[in-house]
Each structure stands twice: as structure tokens, then as C-alpha cells.
Amino acid sequence: MKIAIAIIIVMFLPMFTNFVSAAPAQTLPKGYLSWKKSERKVVTDKNSLFYGIHYIYADKKAQSGYLAGNRFAEGSRIVIEFFNIKENPAVDGPKNMIVMMKKDKRQAATGGWLFAGFGADGKPSGLDPVTTCFGCHQKDAAQRDFVISTKKDFKNF
Ligand code: HEC
């Protein structure tokens, strides 16, 4: 009996440690403002989660992924900053939200991407990635490695 229990523990231990190491690191990468930046994107539909003005930033690996037709290597990182629309929509209002995706094969429930949401101050907003984030990405971009934007969203690619 004791042996049986020991065997069960040994069998499940790797799962448990894997689970612990898969706990998402919810921090924004430093220096993302110097990554490749998308065109300014304005969404005027107030029902959209992306209502407002936003810019997408892609690190080196993510740039290669976009160029390969949305096939991203492990570690690729994409960040979006969102801003309010002011009365004069040509000018960005205050920042209101930041989101990030990082390619991380441990995140099996969300297509091998870590999804994370942050406030304008860069602090994690604690959104649940499975229920809050993955649905749209799965629906709109299952054939594009769950990344909805493409290289067309960036200038000079
Ligand atoms: C209502 C649907 C929807 C939900 C929910 C959603 N997204 Fe997105 N996401 C989009 C769309 C549409 C784009 C493409 C934006 C563009 O092309 O400018 C996008 C783009 C992104 C990108 C840039 C890479 C890409 O796929 O184009 C990141 C990073 C991102 N979302 C993270 C998140 C995170 C984190 C969450 C959860 C907090 C989330 N998203 C929830 C629709 C959604």
C-alpha cells in the first residue's frame, strides 16, 4: 500500500512541479517601447474591447514570426498600449490599458501563449487569460498561431 502511494506521488510530482513553474510571470518587459511599433489604430466601436487608440509592439522574435506569416518561436513577445479617444481624435488621450502575449509552450490552455492584462500603470490587472482573453484569439486567429494582427499592421516590414 505504502509503495502504491509512493508510486502515485512519484507519478504526479512532475505534473505538480510543472504546474508550479507554469504560473505566469505577470510582468511587462522593460523597453518594449523601443520594439517595432504598429501603425496607429483607432477603433470607434464603443462595444469593442479595443475601443480607443492602440499601438502594437513586437520584439525581435515576434517580428520574425509576423514575417513568417504568423508562426512564432518560443519566447516571442507582443505588447499593446491603449489610449482614450479625446474630442479631437487626432490626439491620443491618456493611456488606459496594456496587454501582452508571450509564446510559452507551458500555457496549453491558451494555445501556448501567456496572456496578461495590465493597468495603465503597468501593474497586473488580474484578468483570467482563459475566460477573458483566449476566446477571441481562438475564434479569429486559430490558423495564425492565435495572433490576430499580421505584418500588414506594421510599417516598413
Ligand atoms: C473581444 C475580443 C478580444 C478579447 C477578449 C481579447 N483580445 Fe486581444 N486582440 C483582439 C483583436 C481583434 C486584436 C487585433 C488588434 C489589431 O489588429 O490591432 C488583438 C490583439 C492582441 C494582441 C496583439 C497580438 C495579436 O493577436 O494581434 C495582444 C498581445 C492581445 N490581443 C492580448 C490580449 C489579452 C492579454 C487579452 C485578455 C486580457 C485579450 N487580448 C483579449 C481581440 C480580443
Would you say residue 15 lies in a domain?
no
Would you say residue 4 lies in a domain?
no
Per the structure, the count of domains in the chain is 1
Q: What is the CATH number of the domain that holds 42?
A: 3.50.70.20
Q: Are 54 and 83 in contact (CB under 8 A)?
A: yes
Q: Which domain holds residue 143?
A: 24-153
Question: What residues are in contact with ligand 1 under a 6 Å CB criterion?
Answer: 41, 49-50, 56, 78, 80, 99-101, 115-117, 127, 132-133, 135-137, 147-149, 153
Residue with cell 519566447: 75
Would you say residue 16 lies in a domain?
no
pLDDT tens, N- to C-terminus, the chain (157 residues): 555 545 544 455 444 444 444 455 579 999 999 999 999 999 989 898 789 999 999 999 999 999 999 999 999 999 999 999 988 888 999 999 999 999 999 999 999 999 999 999 999 998 899 999 999 999 999 999 999 999 999 988 8
Would you say residue 61 lies in a domain?
yes
Would you say residue 9 lies in a domain?
no
Distance (Å, whole) CA 139 – CA 152: 20
> Which H or E element spans position 89?
none
- Read off the pTM: 0.87
Most informative mutation of 54, 81, 96, 99 for ligand 1 (most atoms within 8 A of CB):
99
Q: Which three cell numbers stand for residue 125?
A: 490587472
